[in-house]
Amino acid sequence: MGETLLVINAGSSSIKFQLFALAEDTMPVRLRGRIEGIGTNPWLISDDESVPLPPEAGTGLSGGVPGALAFLGTWLRERLGGAMPVAVGHRVVHGGPVYDTHAAVDDGVIATLESYVPLAPLHQPNNLAPIRAIRRLMPGVLQVACFDTAFHRNHSELADRYAIPDALYRDGVRRYGFHGLSYEYIARRLPDLAPEVSGGRVVVAHLGSGASMCAIQNGRSVDSTMGFTALDGLPMGTRPGQLDPGVVLYLMDKGMDARAIERLLYHDCGLKGLSGISNDVRDLLASSDPRAKLALDCFVYRASLAIGSLAAAMGGIDGLVFTAGIGERAPAIRKAIAERTRWLGLDLDEAANGAGALCITTPDSRVRGYVIPTDEERMIALHTRDILRRQRSA
């Protein structure tokens, strides 16, 4: 199989992985899969098999993420005939004010990223856990942290500033933006898939359980709906999106402490909080409960407002791209958003939208609409390969 590169995208109870071949410039995927149910009933599910993890690998003090990764290492070694990946790339949500590009992991990098846990408490600890585990299991292998914030770090100061004292901005309290690996992938694909808008003004809607939008002009991020943390912007599966900070002060006056407020904002708001039914758009679309309709209507309304705002940041809009789970697989949501943004010049082709075609607008639509699947893991692989090559050439 030759040299390979492993990409890890870790959550609280699951690990997604892809194994890429380094020998070919196209870096084809050799293996892909996930480990689900970590901490309860873990299984490794790949393209061609499902394997239960032994109890000691998925639960208990020696289990959890480290145990699951140890099992994954053994499974990969058997699949690769004893060889192991020469590098491992990780998705890390928050790079803070320090990292405007992706970085090879060392003790200093880990310490800095640990300090950003309060900025992304839902994601950062889960991103760091496999990095630490692999350092123990494979201490000599190159690990690369690829940041969701990096793609947005060329924003203007105007876009990144809050109206707060300068000392707080200098201390790192600013608008970072997230889902950058997804947006970078879409920006790279636009010249091939949508050359007519790739050099222009494009709003990309990354709509999933975590949702945001990004204004991209000439392939570069101009602004994003997310800010200091991944709570800002659009309503999400369990997060509220844009929220008056006075609400937090109100909750504090009502007796809620920081941890209780954090739990509420990260786990009990968004579509779940609005509907009282589910955080999953599929469940809400299938429901006849008026609360489900309210949640979806709020999601669509806020998304349409964000498109207008991001278009203003660029002085206009030439294209709208839908991506991620909802964006790629929920034509009803795309249709509802398109109807609310028709005033911008977007004329939806309902048949193309229903079929999930690449272009979902009519030929004479002034603003072109697209559905483009994202691939964050491939972006992580490309950045990891680049750092590996630089280290080897040095």
Using CB atoms within 10 Å of the CB of residue 289, give its burial: 0 to 12 exposed, 13 to 18 middle, 19+ buried. middle
Q: Which residues contact 243 (CB under 8 A, 6 or more apart)?
A: 231, 232, 265
Distance, in Å, from the CA atom of 327 to the CA atom of 213, rounded to the nearest integer, reads: 11
Which residue in the list 148, 223, 232, 375 is annotated as catalytic? 148
Distance, in Å, from the CA atom of 338 to the CA atom of 369, rounded to the nearest integer, reads: 9
Q: Which amino acid is at 99?
A: Y
Distance, in Å, from the CA atom of 287 to the CA atom of 290, rounded to the nearest integer, reads: 8
Number of residues that this document lists for the chain: 394
Looking at the DSSP assignment, which residues form a beta bridge with residue 220? 217
**Tokens 């490309």 correspond to what residue?**
382
Active site residue 25: no
The Cβ of residue 249 has, within 10 Å, a number of other Cβ atoms equal to: 10
Q: Which amino acid is at 197?
A: V
Distance, in Å, from the CA atom of 280 to the CA atom of 150, rounded to the nearest integer, reads: 28
Q: Are 44 and 53 in contact (CB under 8 A)?
A: yes
**Tokens in use for 167?**
């000392």
Active site residues: 148
